[in-house]
Structure 1
Amino acid sequence: MANLYEEDLKHRGGDTVIKLATIDDNLRDVDYLKHILAQSANPSFRIDSYPRLQDGMDALSSEKVDVLLLDLSLPDSKGLKTFIKIHSYAPEIPIVILSGMDDDTIALEAVRNGAQDYLVKGQFDRKLLVRTILYAIERCRLNKKLESVTNELRSTNERLKSLSLIDTLTGALNRRGIQIALSREIQWALRDLTKLLAIVVNLDDFRKINETLGHVVGDVVLKETVRKIKACLRSTDYISRIGGDDFLILLPKTSQEEGTMIAERLRLLISDAPIELTSGRELKVTASIGVVTANPEAPSVDELLEHARSILSASKKTGKNKVTAHHGDHEGNPGTSSGFSDIYDVLKNGRHFRAVKQPIFDLSNDKLIGYEFLSRTTIPGFENPEVFFRACLEANILTLVDHRCLKVCIEASHSLPADLHRHLNLFPSTMIDIPVEHLLSAFPKDMNGNTYCIEISEQQIIGSPSYLLQAVDALRREGILIAIDDVGFGRTCLESLVMLEPNIIKIDKNCINGIADNIIQAKQLKRILDIGKVLEAEVVAEGIERPEDLKVLKKMDVRYGQGYLLGRPG
């Protein structure tokens, strides 16, 4: 059986000449190397030697070398820094260290820093040295190949990332792509004190095109519409398809008047040039267009669209194929509201929210440790958050309103002493729709770590909670605690607790109220407490309203609690 050495030579094939450079000031050691390597026929070796590190570096600048044999004790450099210097100077050359120092620590550190091998003088023969040189060459070749493949893979991943931002049918940005652009442009607009205009385009009667001519024709219309819009825009503008026949365009550094003119050109370009089908038939397409100014306080695509669609509807109601521009801010007035649409407008403008706070106590010593901030409105009939959040959900403005409520609660929390915790509520949908950097911008720049806690209601988490991981991790990195709220509400999912790894578990009041009289409730709470210990999460009992329930909670070593018995929201 051929040994490994013979297999190496067979792999390289033919008569091979390997050019070596050795940097070593010990002439006896150099002569020994030349002597034993001269006995090798295939491969054969050509050896150049240099007594000083600088001499070797000068030679490597002009000479091609297959392998460098390096001593670590030279007149002008000693120790591991000798290798680091030459490796930094010529990183493409494989280096084998030949040293008189039999030191495993230095050897391991050298290999970690890029040396191919470390041999101790006097402890190797010709066969081992030749094999080490061949292996060094092969490892270096494989590393270069791996680096090439890695770079190619990185380039492919970048292309795939780019594709993930593009609508495959039209080539325009998709919702994710335009959200990235919106977040970036809002920051630049704030920095440069310029305006960011948004145009929403909706094709008129597009459903009829799909129903009468088929989806293939509908796809042609969508692609042609994007082509026409792109032809009308500047290189600094953005176009996206956000679903169906809806398009969102961003115009950085654009005034309201300029944006309206661009929108009018778009409308004319879309309607004046019929689309010619392969059948020879011409199809006239028109569009209704709304123009609005992007609001830094509403940085998500959903918030921007909600604002723009109310403007767009004016174009639809007045006969379609029109441009409607929004001028000024709408001032909602609950005193003059005449219907639900007016109520929704009032909810959107955010002027009628206020924050109340409920104290949270350490039950072991009855010490106040923080407050939970809760949102309320001053709109008659909508004071209760369950009512106005349900109305917002039905009107598709939940993200916008929830974001406003978060800001109101953060503002109210500024008055608390620095050592008290501040608990804030946030819908899971808001954590997905609003970029995390915009959520974080509402928090104080100088906040202490673990001062703020975001509470996520478990009953509002739909399906796997994995979609929340990125936002949760980003908040946690900024020192914001995460709590899962309403645990034990009736459909508790262990997956949410395990995957999101909350710092705090808040027990729903339905598990707490009446626990002194209900053994089943007590057992259920005990199981949740056990889960909290495994997850190393603190537990807060909500809805404490009776002294007897509080007594049971203390007996069960529930550390924290809140409820009407301890303090009402105010």
Structure 2
Amino acid sequence: MTDGVPRILLIEDNANDALAIKIMLESADFPFKLEKAETLKSGLDILSKKQIDAILLDLGLPDSKGLDTFVNLFDEYPDVPIVMYTGLEDEDIAVKALQKGAQDYLVKGKVDSKLLVRAIRYSIERHRLRVELKRMSTELEKSETRFRDLIERSSDGILIVDSDGVIQYVNTAAESIFGRKSNELIDESFEFSFEPGETRTIDILRREGETVKAEMRVMQTELRDSTFYIVDLKDITEIVEHVEEKKILREMTLRDELTGLYNRRGFYTHAEHIIKVSKRNKDNMILFFIDVDNLKSINDTYSHQSGDDALIDTTNIIKKTFRESDIIARFGGDEFVILARLVKKSLGEKLSARFKRNLNSHNRKNIRPYKLSLSVGVAQCGSKPNISIDDLLKRADESMYKQKQIEKNHE
């Protein structure tokens, strides 16, 4: 920190997101000096030349993506606090980064100047506290009173555990996390296993039945010629619950309510991933476009429940035919699509044959007052697909339409 002003390094390749951070910091009551880098490499270069007090890190950079972005940076500069600055899709990774040593995370589009400043200042102060704790743990015998005062003021829960695993000290924040007073915890066995230097998430069950999720970090120290362990607990219950809630809500928007398959939006979301995997592994791809014939007639002749039964039966036939790794979706009212990777080209023919067998097997059971008829269109592309998903869908749709015409001509 120069002249009492924290120097912040923003590693972000998106110009608009970087500008938003710059504007929020400039409008803050508390002054900051901002350094900017667009890649992990250029960020590491700045860190090697300048004193940086905190880092705002995007997880999706041109030269590094995902959790590895944090791990590589943290391994090089573990003494500089890091705050994740992520999109909604990276929240799971951000929580994992917290467990590995990140100080906090912020979600793009959900941050204002006040929240940003608080996160940065808190990360610097919290990191400072941990550095101070580590330094002071080597001189506990000379400054035990100061040490206890320091950890008592900590917003993290702090326990001191002896070599037998018995709790010797509990601060106020730890009392809050456990929902118990210090005199109820001291001289009790610490119920969680740990290794010095380890960071992991634990579930603390309070007496009233509530579960608190806490990030646990452990340091070993020597005091009065005996070994003790400083257990640092951070309550991350709200963070974890927020991520889980987001995951559930997001999954709900990607699923068809009747069949439980992906809907159109879910298909497009996951199809991009399977295309990337296919390109990387140089696999072929195949797309099946399936239409439930005469669904309107089934609805009108029997009932809408019968129409739903036809859709559910189709779903079960498809699930029985294809693999869990394939992307299966109800694309529209009577339309289904399946996108699959083909490790071998012959697999496409096997899938088609298996589908026909499963359909015929279903109809032989005569469980419905109508025969289930499905028209299928197929489109394939090679191991280096330059075709888009929409083009592949169009080809498969045209293939299915031709099949319908052939079947009509044979009637």
Which bracket does the TM-score occupy, shorter chain normalised? 0.3 to 0.5
Which protein has the larger Cα radius of gyration, Structure 1 or Structure 2?
1
- If asked which structure has higher relative contact order (CA below 8 Å, sep 6+), I would say 2
